[in-house]
């Protein structure tokens, strides 16, 4: 159809529309305001669109893809690990050894009351004043289920006598990761763990496990979301080298000045 040089949006019903949020307080840098640009992930093209948007620095939350669009700040930087080149540090090897009594199983994205109980304990202990602190069991179910892309849940439990999942008690569930499987990598959407097991380094362990899973699946990247220099909440992401950061000219290899030591990831 000839539109006289104008773009006919009605001719392409799958073309995503982007929206801009109002300014709100930044959760990472005091005194700053954040804005996000977002679009909806719907229809049969949702997985393809997520791949393209993730490569462009977007993240997924349910059926929304978003990225920062702050007027005066560019502190949020998208990070992805090069899984084939990754080599664990000594402290990472210790975390892997410490958690050798755990087994992780990837399954369809289905919420359970057991997951929510652990999620609730994690929020109350580590993010009691965060934006997710008031999430109900229904909110949690929506976070897990409301996805039109290939989303999985990975549950980490104590090994049983036959190296399978233990069934001794609900507390045997130590950690959970909500993960998207994309064309070029895995994306850790959100993860949480038993707050009473901080000494295990479960956040580090889950990232190490995802690196191995991506490698086994022939996927080159593990997407970790955003890193904000100067935010202690984000320091742990720089430890996983080599990695690339999304810069104005595209993805560039990042060379850290001084890798941060162990911290507890909360993706």
Q: What is the pLDDT of residue 27?
A: 84
Contact 154, 217 (CB under 8 A): no
Where do the structural domains in the chain lie, given as residue ranges? Answer: 10-76, 80-254
Q: What is the pLDDT of residue 3?
A: 38
Q: What is the pLDDT of residue 167?
A: 53
Contact 39, 53 (CB under 8 A): yes
Instruction: Give the distance from CA 37 to its chain's centroid.
Output: 18
Q: What is the pLDDT of residue 88?
A: 97
Give kind and range of the element (H or E) at residue 107: strand 102-108
Q: Report the SS3 class of residue 260.
A: coil
d(CA 146, CA 99): 31
Contact 80, 223 (CB under 8 A): yes
- Looking at domain 80-254, its CATH superfamily turns out to be Gcn5-related N-acetyltransferase (GNAT) (3.40.630.30)
Residue ranges of the chain whose pLDDT lies below 50: 1-13, 169-170, 259-264, 266-267
Neighbours of 208 (CB within 10 A): 20
Q: What is the pLDDT of residue 231?
A: 81
Average pLDDT, the chain: 87
pTM for this prediction: 0.86
Query: Could you read off the pLDDT of 68-86 as tens digits, one per residue?
Result: 999 889 999 999 999 999 9
Query: Could you read off the pLDDT of 8-53 as tens digits, one per residue?
Result: 333 344 688 999 999 999 888 888 899 999 999 999 999 999 999 9
């Amino acid at each position: 159809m000839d539109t006289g040089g104008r773009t006919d949006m009605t001719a392409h019903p799958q073309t995503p529309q982007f929206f801009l949020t109002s300014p709100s307080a930044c959760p990472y840098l005091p005194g700053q305001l954040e804005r996000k640009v977002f679009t909806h992930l719907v229809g049969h093209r949702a997985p393809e669109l997520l791949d393209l948007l993730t490569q462009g620095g977007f993240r997924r939350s349910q059926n929304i893809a978003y990225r920062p669009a702050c007027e005066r700040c560019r502190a949020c930087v998208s990070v992805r690990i090069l899984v084939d080149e990754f080599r664990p540090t000594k402290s990472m090897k210790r975390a892997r050894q410490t958690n050798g009594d755990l087994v992780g199983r990837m399954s369809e994205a289905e919420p359970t009351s057991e997951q929510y109980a652990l999620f609730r304990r994690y929020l109350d202990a580590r993010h009691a004043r965060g934006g997710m602190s008031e999430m109900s069991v229904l909110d949690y179910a929506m976070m897990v289920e409301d996805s039109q892309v290939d989303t999985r849940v990975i549950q980490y439990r104590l090994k049983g006598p036959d190296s399978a999942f233990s069934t001794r008690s609900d507390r045997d569930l130590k950690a959970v990761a909500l993960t998207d499987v994309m064309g070029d990598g895995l994306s850790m959407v959100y993860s949480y763990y038993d707050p009473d097991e901080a000494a295990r380094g479960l956040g580090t362990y889950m990232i190490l496990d995802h690196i191995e899973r991506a490698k086994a699946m022939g996927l080159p990247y593990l997407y970790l979301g955003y890193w904000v220099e100067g935010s202690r909440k984000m320091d742990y992401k720089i430890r996983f080298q080599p990695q690339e950061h999304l810069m104005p000219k595209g993805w560039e290899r990042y060379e850290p000045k001084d890798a941060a030591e162990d911290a507890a990831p909360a993706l």
